[in-house]
Amino acid sequence: MIEIKGLAKKFVVENVKKLSEQEKQDPRLKGRFFHSVEDVSFHCEQGQVLGLLGPNGAGKTTTLRMLSTAIKPTAGSVSINGVDILAEPLVARRKIGFLSGSTGLYGRLTGRENIEYFGRLHGVSEAELKQRINELADLLDMHSFLDRRSESFSTGMKQKTSIARAVIHQPEVVILDEPTTGLDIMATQTVLDFIRRLKTQGTPVIFSTHHLDEVDELCDKVTVIDKGRTCFDGSLLDFKGLSSGSMHESFLTTIKGAE
């Protein structure tokens, strides 16, 4: 289980005058600090998939980057199966598989070499690494391009390789930042099927998305963030119950209620 309580992150604004008018009107701008995340709390149990929703700029990516230990929170706590990952970030990185929306592959390495590199960083043995890559190539339909240089990959190939790289060490929690963005229908289905498999294995999965149909199809829980704060955290059934069952209406209702 992963549990997040009162997570917050503020950034120094070097020059307030250079901000756009929209940014200046954001209530999270307070003096020389922009509070990207002010108060975010949720949890995800074993075998659950949690959909993290929110408008652009709501603080979703900042939240996920804090969970991955890529950036340090200003306040709050994060624990995985009782371990305080903020106090022990090196331990945390062994427990978490994180797919960022911006982390690229090493273009001159093949898909296999990219995955192997990260597996070795996590201390995966050579024998286990070979077996694990073959399993992931089967699950993510990667055999046709696995040994090509990744600089020639399509968007779907890159995303599948990035996902394999994120889970090569068999993490206790998987965090995916918009994993299907830019993918075609077939590649999207492969990624969604992979998330389902993680769920059947009992692995908690947190993923952010703008595709509400994916949330409806996959998720047990929904957390909505707006302006850096949690404005809904509950079951998918409760979320759909905010409206007549429409995911879009429920989302809009949540955001309007937080204003």
pLDDT at 24: 87
The position carrying tokens 């955290």 is 233
Over pLDDT 70: what percentage of the chain?
Answer: 98
Backbone angles phi, psi at 223, to 5 degrees: -125, 130
CA distance linking residue 102 with residue 139, whole number of Å: 23
Question: How far is the C-alpha of 251 from the C-alpha of 257, rounded, in Å?
Answer: 10
Question: Tell me: the pLDDT tens digits for 114-161?
Answer: 999 999 999 999 999 999 999 999 999 999 999 999 999 999 999 999
Helix, strand, coil fractions of the chain, as percent rounded to 5:
40, 25, 35
Q: What pLDDT is stored for residue 259 in this prediction?
A: 66
pLDDT at 88: 84
What is the pTM for the complete model shown? Answer: 0.91
Q: What pLDDT, in 10s, does the model give residues 37-49?
A: 999 999 999 999 9
- Please tell me the distance from the alpha carbon of residue 222 to that of residue 201, in angstroms, as a whole number: 20
Give residue limits of the domains in the chain. Answer: 2-103+172-258
pLDDT tens-digit readout, 92-116: 888 999 998 766 899 999 999 999 9
In this structure, the number of other CB atoms found within 10 A of the CB of residue 139 comes to 17
Task: Specify whether domain 2-103+172-258 bears CATH 3.40.50.300.
Answer: yes
State CA 22 to chain mean position distance: 26
| pLDDT range class, residue 19, cuts 50, 70, 90 | confident
- Residue 20's beta-bridge partner residues? none
Radius of gyration of the chain (CA): 19
